[in-house]
Chains A and B, each alone.
Chain A
Amino acid sequence: GQNIDQPTEMTATEGAIVQINCTYQTSGFNGLFWYQQHAGEAPTFLSYNVLDGLEEKGRFSSFLSRSKGYSYLLLKELQMKDSASYLCAVKPGRGSTLGRLYFGRGTQLTVWP
């Protein structure tokens, strides 16, 4: 099976930096995604990592270490609108699971003024 773990909740203040961690154990690996989901809305794409290292995109960065089965999403200069659930998802990419995405439980981030 697929095992993807991330913290349930995090809080931070406006303007701060927050790091959301994700660890995974899957049958093969073909990429890791981060999605943002506001309450009552569909998930929206934030980042995709397939190789080790840091991918930076504006205020958001995502890091991957395949050997450690570990990723993090880094959010800088937090804004109130960043309050949302952040979902880590892995694409195992092997055999019968080819193409499928499996999600962690999601991390509910609350940004305080």
Chain B
Amino acid sequence: SAVISQKPSRDICQRGTSLTIQCQVDSQVTMMFWYRQQPGQSLTLIATANQGSEATYESGFVIDKFPISRPNLTFSTLTVSNMSPEDSSIYLCSATSGESGYTFGSGTRLTVV
């Protein structure tokens, strides 16, 4: 299965600033996704990153707050914009090539102060 490199692994950011998280997959994948995982909680899907077009967001998530890019089949970024302490969480990307399993990046632990 695909291997995903996600960075940064962690960051501490000032409120009001933005952070861009990157995910690089070692092979072409059909679909890529972004999740948020708050402490002690499970994974909540933020959006599907669509190659060459606007991402598809889940209810409660909007493009202005979480702009996503996916310029090709192996790379995607998620930006957390105008951060507040409530955005402190772990952000994970995921990828799949159809019927195979879904692979996850190692996560970005974000703390907003």
Contact = CB atoms under 8 A, between A and B. Distances in A.
Given A101-B33, A101-B94, 11 more contacts: A33-B102, A41-B106, A41-B107, A42-B104, A43-B104, A45-B101, A45-B103, A99-B30, A100-B48, A101-B45, A102-B45
Interface of B: 1, 30-31, 33, 35, 41-45, 48, 56, 59, 92, 94, 96, 101-107
18 contacts: A1-B59, A41-B107, A42-B92, A42-B105, A43-B92, A44-B104, A45-B1, A45-B102, A48-B101, A87-B42, A99-B48, A100-B48, A101-B94, A102-B45, A103-B42, A103-B45, A105-B41, A106-B42
Interface residues of A, number: 20
Contacts, number: 47
Main secondary structure of the interface of B (DSSP, over half): strand
B76 to A, nearest CB: 14
